[in-house]
Structure 1
C-alpha cells in the first residue's frame, strides 16, 4: 500500500509528531511512505521519503497542487492527516485524486456543530483514527460523526528499541540513589508543571530527610517562570530542568515515577514509554483515555488536576513503601508490553486502511 502522511506543525516536537514518525517509519519497511511536512526540524527527523511544503492555510493552492502531483506520481492510495490544517488539505487532495483521506486525531475535544467541522469530519474525511475509546465517545456527541468511520487504534511504542535501552542502561539504573520523579513535555500552562512543582514541594516538606528529585524534560515559554517557582518554594536544588532531549530514555531509566499532570492530554506516548521502562505512572484524569491505561492502585495512580495534597501523598506513599513501588512498576511494564507493541498497531492501521479504501 502507498501512504502519504501530512504534518504541518510549525514548531515543537511532541507526542503527535513522535507517534506519526514511529508509524510512518515502521510502515516504510514494507510499503511506500512519503511524509509531507512544514518545519525542517520536524521533517529532518523522519527516516522516510519526505517533501517540504508551505502548508500556509487550509486552501493553500500551492501545497494542494504539489500534493496532487505527489499522489499521482507515487500512486498514493491513503492520505493520513495529523494536524487540523492537514485535515482540510488532505481531504481536498483526496477528493481531487479520488483516493481516501484518514484523519489522525489524538486530542479529546468536543467538536462544535459548525459548517466547517461538518465539511472536515464528514465530507472530507473517509476515516478517523483515535487513540482512546474516550476520544471516540466524545466524537460521537457531534451530530455529523458516523460510527463506522471511526477506529480506536492505540499509540504504538517501539518495544525493541526500549528493550535495547534497558540493556544498555541497566548498570546506570542500579547506581541510582535518590527517589526520582520524571515529567516530560512542552513547558506550557496545559502540562501543569507548576501544579507538579508545588505538589513535589509539599511532598519533600512532609517529613525531614527525604532524598528525592524532580526532573522535568522539555522546553517552552514557561520554563523560566517554573524555575523561579521552584526557587521560591525552596526546592530548586532538587528540581532539574534538562531542556529538550533527543533521547530522554536514560532519564526515564533512572527514575521511579513518571508524572503526567496535564489539564488536557491525548494518550501520551511518553507515558507509555515510561511505563515500559519501569516507572510508576501517576496521572491526572485529563482526557485522552488515561483510565484505559492506568488502573488506580494496580499499575499506577490517578488524581484530579490541581489536587496538590493527593499528589504529594502519592509521592510519599511510593517513597516510603518500596515493595509497593516495585510491584507497581512491574505491573506498569506488563500492562503496556504487548498491548502497545508497534507490530500490533501496524496490523490494525493496515486493516482499517484496507477497509476504508474499499468503502464507497
Structure 2
C-alpha cells in the first residue's frame, strides 16, 4: 500500500478509551510512513503528549466542538487528505458534514463507533433525536468501523445501517509500549509484599461505569477478608463515590487515586480487576488487564465484553448492578479460582493486527 495522507479528528484528547485508541492508531500509521494530521477542535487534554513527534497536531482552536464542522470543512478544502477518521458521535457527524460541504471528492470518511447506541439511558426525546440524526448522517460515511460484533449488530438493527457499510475492527489495545510499561515498578505502598490483596477498578467515573456497585460489593467482600480497593480514573461521579465510601465505612480500605498515565503496572500487580459497567462497546481496560495477566470480573453488559472474555472462558461474568455476586466472585478469585488466558486469543487485540485492518478499510 502506498503512503497516504491520513487525518484523525477528535474534539479534544482528554483521557478516554476512544482518545487512547485514536492516538495509538495515528502513531502506528505515522511509524509506517503515512503522513498523519491529528486535528482537534481545541488542542487540550492529557493524551496530547502521547502523540508521536511524527504526527502533525492541527488545532482548530474552537470555543465549542459543535462549531467544528466549519473549521473542519475549511481544513479539508486546504489539506485534502486521502482519508479522515473520526470517533464518538458528535465528531463523526462533524466529519461527514464537513466532507459533504467541502466539495472535496478524494477524501474518504471512516467513522468509528465505540458503543451500543440502543441501550443508552437518556430521555425519550433525546433518544429519538439521536437515533434520527445518526440514521441520517452515518450512511454518508464511506465506512463505519464498529469496535465489536455487538456494536455492528446494533448499528444495523437500531439505525438501519446496511451491513456492507460496517466493518468490525477490534481496538489495538495491546502495544509493545503498554507491555513495557506494565513491568515498571508500582509506586504505591499497597503493592508491597506484606500488604493485603488489591482489587482494582480502572476507568472514568461516570454513571455508566457504575462504580457505586463495585464499592458496595467491596464493602461486603472486605468483611470476609482483608483487602484494599484502588480506583484509577476521574470523572463527574467522583465526589458522589467519595461520599459513598464514607457511608459504607470503608475509608481506610479504599483509595480513589484519579488518573494515572501508566495503569498497566497496577494491572500486572493487582489481585483482580473489576469492571462493573452498565454497557460498553469494547472496553480497552479488559483487554489491557488480560494482557497484563490480571484476573477479571466484569458485568455481562451489552457490547463487546463477552467477545473479549470468550463468553466467560477468560474472566468472570456477573449480572448488572449485583453487588452480592461481584463480592462472591472477588472472594473466589482471592481464594485462587483464576481463569488462565490463551496468549493466542490476545493476538486479535494487538496493534499490528488492528492497523492492517484499518489500512484495508481505507482501500475498500
**TM-score scaled by length of structure 1:** 0.87
1:187-202 matched pairs, under 5 angstroms:
187-202=205-220
- Aligned residue number for residue 358 of structure 1: none
State yes or no: 1:3 paired with 2:11: no
1:32 to 27, 31, 35: 35
CA shift in 2, pair 1:218/1:271, >3 Å: same
1:51 aligns with 2:58: yes
Choose which of 113, 126, 130 in structure 2 pairs with 1:105.
Answer: 113
- In the alignment, does 2:326 pair up with 1:319? no
Structure 1 residue 254 displacement after superposition = 1.7
Q: Deviations over 1:335-354 (max 9, x none)?
A: 65312110000011111111
Change (3 A) 1:60 1:143: closer
Distance 2:253 2:135 in 1: 49
Alignment size in residue pairs: 340
Output the CA distance in 1 between the equivalents of 2:194 and 2:73: 52
Give the deviation of 1:219 after TM superposition: 1.3
Mean Cα displacement is larger for which, 345-354 or 241-250? 241-250
2:149 is aligned with 1:145: no
| Structure 1 residue 91, shift from structure 2 partner | 1.6
- The reply on whether 1:20 has 2:22 as its aligned counterpart is yes
Distance in 1 between residues matched to 2:349 and 2:76, nearest whole Å: 32
Q: Is the 8 A contact 2:41 2:68 kept in 1?
A: no
Q: Distance in 2 between matches of 1:143 and 1:294?
A: 27
Gaps of 5+ in 2: 119-126
Greater alpha carbon shift after TM alignment, 29-38 vs 55-64: 55-64
Deviation of 1:190 after TM superposition, in Å, equals 1.4
Partner in structure 2 of residue 81 of structure 1? 86
Pair 1:143–1:39, CA change in 2 (3 A): closer
For residues 171 and 23 of structure 2, what CA distance do their matches in structure 1 show? 11
RMSD: 2.4
SS at match of 1:13: coil
CA distance in 2, matches of 1:305, 1:25: 36
Q: Residues 181 and 259 of structure 1 are in contact (CA less than 8 Å); yes or no, is this contact kept in structure 2? A: yes
Name the CA distance, whole Å, in 2 between partners of 1:170 and 1:216.
Answer: 14
**What are the residue-to-residue correspondences of 1:1-360 with 2, within 5 Å?**
1-9=4-12, 12-30=14-32, 31-42=34-45, 44-45=48-49, 46-47=51-52, 48-53=55-60, 54=62, 56-57=65-66, 60-71=69-80, 76-95=81-100, 96-98=103-105, 99-110=107-118, 116-122=133-139, 124-142=140-158, 144-169=160-185, 175=193, 177-205=195-223, 207=224, 210-295=225-310, 298-320=313-335, 322=336, 324-325=337-338, 328=339, 330-331=340-341, 334=343, 336-355=345-364
| Structure-2 separation of matches of 1:171 and 1:125 | 45
> Contact between 2:204 and 2:235, CA under 8 Å: does it hold in 1?
yes
Note if contact 2:271-2:334 (Cα within 8 Å) is conserved in structure 1: no
Shift of 1:143: 5.7
CA–CA separation in structure 1 for the residues paired with 2:192 and 2:346: 22
TM-score by length of 2: 0.86
Could you tell me how far apart the structure 2 residues matched to 1:198 and 1:128 are? 38
Q: Which sections of structure 1, spanning at least 5 residues, go unmatched?
A: 356-360
